[in-house]
A and B are shown apart, each in its own frame.
Chain A
Amino acid sequence: MPGEAVSCTLSATHMESAEQLAVLTGSQTVSVDPASWVDDHGDCLYRFALMRLRDSSAAEDAVQETLLSAIQAMSSYTGKSSERTWLIGILKHKIIDHFRKHKMHVQLSDEDTDLSGVEGLFKRPDMWDGHWGDNVRPVDPEQSPDDVLEREEFWKVMNGCLSALPARLAGVFALREIDGLSSEEICNALGLSASNFWVIMHRTRMQLRRCIEIKWFRRAI
């Protein structure tokens, strides 16, 4: 349905329809209908791109390029994965292309690589300067991460904390921490030096952790 709020991830119906298609045709190629892609997957692809690119027109462009590439590559779609999984796979490449074209390394500012904000946690007036300050020492998570995957309140907190990350660094963080690309892949694709990559990851990870700690790990139940 166009405009209906649909989860981006693979719902059971999407999985089934892909499997059914594959079974029905019984051949390598599966009939797909590009005309329905925008309504069926457009919002989901857009959200996926927006979270990583943090720019609505760049995200729209990435979706457009994805659909056009998908039409070119339609004959290679075998129906083994759902249509949406296939499209997201193409979109991931378009997102990396976008970063590559816009040369992340040229755009990094002094502010982006400044660690003084995250290092404030280690200021102490006593001889233990450089160790965790009083009242900011990390607490034990005391629960398994498995237990929060289904909890809406957790994702509300996580979404808020992710949105607060600096826009230009958030994409790199997402490629690594959400998409699981290797550090080498990211540095090569984005033309980042190992030390710039490390600073970006350290800064974003420290900021996100602090935010999640305050709003989730330390929250009173």
Chain B
Amino acid sequence: MRMKEANLKFTKFNDWVWRKFPACKEVVKLVTASMDGPLTLREWFVMKLHLYSCDSCINFLNQVKFIRFTLRHGEEGLDEQNSNVRLSDEARDRLKKGVINER
């Protein structure tokens, strides 16, 4: 394997954050929500505090950002994967007739 999962670091601080504040399951919800709009101050604080103590959630954040970047900058690569998807002959004829009638 090329990459490793982050190890859990059981420091006193991390232990405190994990016990007293929402767990990863809730924090990933805040992370994805933060990509579509602003969080409340409390949500933002909970997210930041957790990310400070949890490398797995940092990796999660980097992965979803990575995916967004590729989707927003890589139309060409994605389109080439589907270059075999084409209009059927019937649809093509119908579209041509429509264009000619409209002119």
The interface of chain A, by Cβ under 8 A from chain B, is 2-3, 5-9, 34-35, 37-38, 42-44, 46-47, 50-51, 60, 63-64, 67-68, 71, 119, 122, 128-132, 135, 137-142, 145-146, 148-152, 154-156, 158-159, 162, 176-178, 180, 183, 197-198, 201-202, 205-206, 208-209, 212-213, 217-221
A217–B3 CB distance below 8 A: yes
Partner of A35, one of B75, B79, B83, B99: B99
Complex Cα distance, B70 from A51, in Å, reads 16
Q: Is the Cβ of B60 less than 8 Å from the Cβ of A64?
A: no
Q: List B contacts of A206 (CB < 8 A).
A: 28, 32
Ordered by A's residue number, 26 sampled pairs between the chains whose C-beta atoms are within 8 Å are A5-B83, A8-B75, A38-B87, A42-B92, A42-B95, A47-B79, A64-B94, A67-B95, A67-B102, A122-B23, A128-B18, A130-B26, A132-B24, A137-B5, A138-B59, A139-B4, A140-B62, A145-B66, A145-B69, A148-B74, A149-B74, A155-B74, A159-B81, A177-B72, A198-B36, A219-B2
Mark B residues whose CB is within 8 Å of A. Answer: 1-6, 18, 23-26, 28-29, 32-33, 35-37, 54, 56-57, 59-60, 62-87, 91-92, 94-96, 98-100, 102-103
